[in-house]
Each structure stands twice: as C-alpha cells, then as structure tokens.
Amino acid sequence: MTIIRRLIQHGIELAKDLEVNLGNRSISQACEEIIRVFSRARERSLLQRPPAAGSGGGSNVQSWVMSTDTAGQAVLDLLFLPRVGEQTPAVGPRRSTPPLPVGGSPSAVRDVDVSESSRGLSSSLQSQRRRREEKERFTVNVAAPQMGNLDLPPDDGYTWRKYGQKDILGSSFPRAYYRCTHQRLYDCPAKKQVQRVDDNPYIFKVTYRYRHTCHMSATAPSAPPAVGGALLQHQSTTTARQPPHDGRSSGGSWLTMNIKTRPSPEGGSTSNNTMLPHQMHRDYAAPAASSDAAGPSTTAGTMDVDFGGQPVVDMADVMFNSGSSSEHSIDFIFHTIHTSKYEQRENN
DNA sequence: CCGATTTGACCTTG
DNA sequence: CAAGGTCAAATCGG
C-alpha cells in the first residue's frame, strides 16, 4: 500500500509539475511519465486489492490522497467526482435489493419493461417516461484506441450486446446501439450508443442510458459483496475487467472513460454542461432523483460514502479513464475528453 | 449449439 | 414525413 501511495503521490506531483511547467517541458514526455506512474499504481492495486470491497486499502489511499494537499484534492476532484454519481457505466448500482426474478422467462423479464415502453402505451405515460429517460442519460467522449482495430467501441468494463446500427443524419459515422448483455437474464436496462465524433474519428461519443441492474441480483454473475448497502462496488465483479481479447484492453482500456454521474432531481441539474469539479460535487451529492427505474444510490447520498468505498484500483482507473468537464490540462494529458454531460431538455 | 453481430424493416416522436 | 431507436431474422463464429 505504501508503494501505491508513493506512486500516486508521485503521479500527482508530476501532474502538478506538468501544469506548472507547461511549455518548459515536452508535454508528451511528461504525460508518458505520469501515465507510467499511475499505471504502476493501478497494477499494484489490482494485485493488492482486498477481497472485501469497500473496506481496506482503497478508502485508505483515497483519504490519504485527499489529505495530501490541495493539488492532490484537485486531482481527485477532477478524477473522481465524475464517476460518483449513479449511472456510471463503470460501477454498477449498489443498493440492497431482493434478487430479480431470474427464473422468469425472457418474456416475463421483458414484460417489466414493456409495461412502460410498449408501443401501446398511452402517450402521456410515454412522454413521462421519456422525460425521465432523458434525465438518466449522459454522454462522454472517449478516446478511441490509437492502434489496432479502430472500429472497436471503447471498453468500459461492461459487456454489451450490439442490437442496432444506424446512419445518423449529418454524421459521417454510423451510431451503434448497445444494450447490456444481461438485459434478459437480469432485466438490466442499461444501454449505450457509440458514435465517432465527426471532426475527430479517434474519439467516440458514448451515450449511456439507464443504470446497470445486473449487479444487483444476488444471482447475477457480478453480484458483489454487500458492503453496508451504500458503498461502492467495484466493477470487476461481473463482466468488468475481463481479460483483453481484442488487443485493446490491456494497455488500451485506460483510454476508456469511466464516468459515474448522478442524475439530478427534477430541475436540479443545471443546463450547464461544463460543471466544475466542485460544482459536480455539490450537484451529485444532492439527493438522488426519485427515479423508479433505478435508484440505487439514493442511499449513497454523500460523496464521502462513495469515496470511502472506492477501491484504489478504481482511482487509478479513473485517473486514466476520465477527465472532468473543467478546462484542466488533465483532459489533454490523458487524451480523454470527458464531456460528461447530462442530456437535459427544457421542461415541456 | 449457443450467443453475438449484422441489417433491413418497423415503430415512435417531433 | 423524416430521423432516431428498436426489433428480429439471418448470419457468423467460437
């Protein structure tokens, strides 16, 4: 743990140094060094990760980093805050709920969803749901692998099943539609859309919708250890962190964006997509929307709780995977544009 | 054989 | 009616 701390601290110092000395030093050189340091921290944390999620090392490291200095906190803010909401694709919902009816037939599973989304639904209900859906959606920009198969979508730790692809008007690249692989078995409603950014084919715009519920089922492949009911569970439980099989993961997964955000309550989210870290902190720490679709962490009301339970591996993860919506150079450094934003629509 | 992907058709919404 | 989103049959691949 000491080594991890040292590595992380070193990384933070390097990042600080980079920001201070921008222009005096080769940026790429500095970035590589920072990446190396954090990579080592991550690798070590992966090796050392305690079996009991939520307790032990992760929180220690985090609290330690947070207590280092303001710059360290800034880095943490920058890196952590985005993922502490609810719908991160990287971290499944975490509330203690009874297992989902796994035994049910696929159709039964679907019925749950159909109840609201079936084509026969009344328009008012549908629009209601639609409004809520819009709130449960956020997009991130993720750097595409710079080598290998560039068509591969970014790996965010979950397993997705592609169910459609569509050419979008005005876009040079088609949009791919994915849903959670466990949609049927565990009634997991999580979906995402992946589309290359027009002006930069090396960047994916990923839109996430709904939360993963496949981690909540006791029988789910990813059923995490229940810790306190409001603690984070690590994504590695399920399909997360599967061994790379396409050549983009091992060294490339860090390019992936793992942002965790919490939808704001009705009207709570600002129309400003470029929230500063501390703003995000406030917003995301606000009581979760009483969304019936999922509400895992209405209990995880405070960032502190989430922070405390976050394993260090996630931290390293986020360090590479996410940025923030601030103008920080970290974004540039890690080549991960994090325009994490809520799709908001004006109240109709 | 089973699960994932592809792809054209269909549905919903504005 | 156009565009976005989803379905589902056909196909692919392990």
Each residue's pLDDT, cut to its tens digit, for chain A (348 residues) gives 555 566 667 766 766 666 666 555 555 565 556 555 555 555 455 444 433 333 333 334 444 444 444 443 333 333 333 333 333 333 333 333 333 333 333 333 333 333 333 333 344 444 444 444 455 677 888 777 655 555 666 677 788 999 999 999 888 889 999 998 887 777 788 889 998 888 887 888 888 888 777 765 544 444 333 333 333 333 333 333 333 333 333 333 333 333 333 333 333 333 333 333 333 333 333 333 333 333 333 333 333 333 333 333 333 333 333 333 333 333 333 344 444 444 443 333
Inside any domain, residue A89: no
Q: How far is the CA of A130 from the C1' of B10 (A)?
A: 20
- CA distances A195 to A2, A30, A160, A200, Å, are 41, 30, 15, 11
Inside any domain, residue A27: yes
Chain B nucleotides covered by protein, CB below 7 Å? 3-9, 11-14
> What's the domain count of chain A?
2
Reference A205, options A168, A167, A175, A162; nearest CA is A175
Angle at A251 between CA A55 and CA A204, to 5 degrees: 95
A102-119 burial by CB neighbour count: b if 16+ within 10 A, else e? eeeeeeebbeeeeebeee
Q: For position A151, which CATH number holds?
A: 2.20.25.80
Protein chain A, residues 146-185, with a C-beta closer than 7 Å to any atom of nucleic acid strand C: 163-171, 175, 177, 179
> Does residue A166 reach within 7 angstroms of strand B, measured from its CB?
yes
Inside any domain, residue A162: yes
Which nucleotide minimizes the distance between its C1' and the CA of A159? B4
- Given the structure tokens 């070193």, which residue do they identify? A10
The residues that bridge with A203 in the sheet, in sequence order, are: A143
pTM beyond 0.85, yes or no: no
Inside any domain, residue A188: yes
Q: Domain limits at A9? A: 1-45
Q: If you write DSSP's letter for every residue of A46-99 in order, what string do you get?
A: HHH--SSTTSSHHHHHHHHHHHH-HHHHHHHHHHHGGGSBS--SSS------PP
Query: What are φ and ψ of residue A133, in 5° steps?
Result: -60, -40
Q: How far is the CA of A134 from the C1' of C4 (A)?
A: 14
> Does residue A106 reach within 7 angstroms of strand B, measured from its CB?
no
Which nucleotide minimizes the distance between its C1' and the CA of A170? C3
Inside any domain, residue A104: no
Inside any domain, residue A50: no
Chain C nucleotides covered by protein, CB below 7 Å? 2-8
Inside any domain, residue A243: no
Inside any domain, residue A204: yes
Distance, C-alpha A198 to centroid of its chain: 23
The residues that bridge with A85 in the sheet, in sequence order, are: A261
Q: How far is the CA of A107 from the C1' of C8 (A)?
A: 14
- The arrangement of strands across the sheet holding A341-342 comes to A160-166, A175-180, A191-197, A200-209, A137-143, A341-342
